Structure formats: C-alpha cells, structure tokens
Amino acid sequence: MANRIKSFSFRSGVQVDNDNFVVNPNGLVGIGTTLPSEVLDVRGNTKVVGHLTATDASVSGIVTVGSITINGSTGTISATTFSGSAGNFGDQAVVAIATDGFIAGATGLTTTSNLGVNTTSTAFELQVGSDPTTATGFGVTEGNITASGNLKISGISTTATLVVTGLSTTKDFEVTGVSTVGVVTGATYFGDASDITSGKWTLGAVGSSHYQFTGPGGLNATADPVIYLARGQSYEFVNNMGAHPFEIRSSNGGSAFSTGVTNNAVSNGTLRFDVPYSAPNSLYYQCTSHAGMGGTIVVYPNLFTV
C-alpha cells in the first residue's frame, strides 16, 4: 500500500489490531490494553530516545538510570557515587558518604585513615575538634586518649574490671555514676569515697572445721584468722560455696550482730559490713551450721568513753 497522509476524526474511539492500540471515547489512549486508565496508558516495555520531561513520576517497581537504581518497593536508592548537600534531609534520614579509604562492610563503615569530626585536622586516628596538643579538642590514637578540654564521664556500669590507661588531659577529669563489681584503679582519687569497700575477702573451707580467708592482710587460704576492721569503713566477705553460712555475731555462739550488716549468714553471695562507730571492740564470725568454724573480729580503734 502506498504511503498516504490523512486526517482522522474519531467520535466513539478506535481500536487497532485487537488491543495493541486503543483510543476510547473519553480520549484515553491505551497501548497493550483495551482499558486505558490514563491519558496515555502503556502496558509493556517503553523506549524513549531523546529528552523526557515529566512533572511527577510514580514508580512501584525498579527504575535504572545508568549506575543509579531506584527501588520503588523498598525505597532504596543505589549508586556508585553520591554528591551534593544533604542539608534538607529529615531527622529520620540515614546518609552514608563514602570516599577513598572507606570500606562499607556488613557491620559498618571502616577506614584505615585518620578521621576528623568538626575539624580539618586529623593529627589523631580519631579527632573531635582541634588538635588537643595545641588547642581544645579530643583525640584517640592506638587506644590512648588525649583531651585538652574538660572530660566528663557518667553512667558507667560494668560487672567486670574497669581499667583506664593512656589517658591524658590538661583540664578537669570528672567521672560520675560509676557502678562496678570489678576493679577500678588510678593514681589519685578525689570526691566522695564513703561507699568504697576498704577490704574484701573470699571464703573457703577445710571440711567442716575451719573457714579459709583469701584477701587483704596477706591472707591466702588462711584458716580462721583474726580479722581487723576499722570503724566507719566498709568490708565485704564473699561466700560462693553454697554452704557454711557466714554470720557476724556479737560473740562465739552468740546472737547475730545486725547493725551495718547486709546479707548476714550468707552461703552463696556477699556479706557487706559497714562498721558503725558504735560497734563493740570485738565481734565474732561463725558458721551457723558448724560452731567450730569461726574466729575473732577486732574493731579498731579501741572504743572508749570520754
């Protein structure tokens, strides 16, 4: 058939080759469908060569533009490079900016380069603010911390040993809210030490005849030693044997001494004794199940009447 140019006027729509091309009476055009729902409704793959301009676009599947992939179902955008300002992102947005030297792994973003926050200097492996050796800032290198501002640490809780090494600061170092059942060591302490334990002994036993003490005073599995406690100080006795209830008493075979004592007659746990100023000069520790297991507690200085 020769090529012809003609004008067509459709009053009630048109359909070409079944459902390949349809113009319904409302002027909606369908390609690949007989029921177009938009001005142009295309069912199938579409190829556009040239510039495409759209005011809005709604995608429920996946859009690929060069190396950029947009997944309409998950809301994920993937690309090899990101560039530009993220200042208008909402509070819930998560932005990852990767440059040379950073590696995005399964557990996070890592780098072997130095990292600086709020600074153009990276004199330390991790640096916040200025170089702390010359101005106010905070730096960490190989686990050693250098801070030239006030360093405050609060809310520390540990059930193991708390060790701080390699810490250097030119101003105040303040630690609050520390809770530990392990060990805290330091050259100098300043502040309220009223709850510090002055001594702690771990108990063992020789059959049902003797307690064994390991702890301050050079005691190492020592049988039924005399224990010396200072007034106004706190002490702990750890009995994890699950037997031989350890009790502080007023005398050998006497009644339990309860003033300042927490968890008396302990068989699996820790007895704490905050020695009151009014405590007598001597007390006694004894197993509530075996009277032969016991010894003297000397409370000093000697209580006297003015």
Do 278 and 296 reside in the same domain of the chain? yes
Predicted confidence at residue 92, as pLDDT, reads 46
261 with 234: CB under 8 angstroms? no
The answer to whether residues 203 and 292 belong to one domain is yes
- Residue 84 burial (10 A CB sphere; 0-12, 13-18, 19+): exposed
Q: Is residue 152 part of a domain?
A: yes
The answer to whether the CB of 294 falls within 8 A of the CB of 279 is no
Which of 163, 191, 219 is the endpoint of a domain?
191
Answer whether residue 291 is part of any domain: yes
CATH of the domain at 274: 2.60.40.420
Q: Are residues 204 and 274 in the same domain?
A: yes
Q: Reply yes or no: is the peptide bond before residue 132 cis, omega within 30 of 0.
A: no
Tokens of 107: 């557990």
Based on the fold, state whether residues 154 and 182 are members of the same structural domain: yes
59 part of a folded domain: no
Domain contains 87: no
How many domains would you assign to the chain? 3
pLDDT at residue 99, rounded to an integer: 52
pLDDT at residue 93, as a whole number: 47
The rounded Cα 206 to chain-centroid distance in angstroms is 44
| Contact indicator for 211, 219 with CB cutoff of 8 Å | no
Whether 137 is in a domain gets the answer yes
Scanning the structure block, which residue is given the tokens 């609050």?
176
Q: Do 208 and 277 share a domain, yes or no?
A: yes
**pTM strictly above 0.85:** no
- Is 166 within the bounds of a domain? yes
157 belongs to a structural domain: yes
Q: Are residues 155 and 208 in the same domain?
A: no
Q: Which residue has the tokens 């991790």?
A: 126
Same domain, 287 and 203: yes
pLDDT, averaged in runs of 10, over the chain (306 residues): 56 59 82 84 83 78 76 75 60 50 70 83 84 82 78 68 64 66 64 82 96 96 97 96 97 97 96 96 97 96 72
Residues 6+ apart with CB under 8 A from 252: 284, 286, 294
CA geometry: angle 133, 138, 143, nearest 5 deg: 95
Separation in Å, CA 254 to CA 43, 93, 213, 261: 95, 69, 22, 16
Q: Cβ(24)–Cβ(13) under 8 Å?
A: yes
Asked if residue 92 is part of any domain, the answer here is no
In which domain, by residue range, is 33 found?
Answer: 15-42
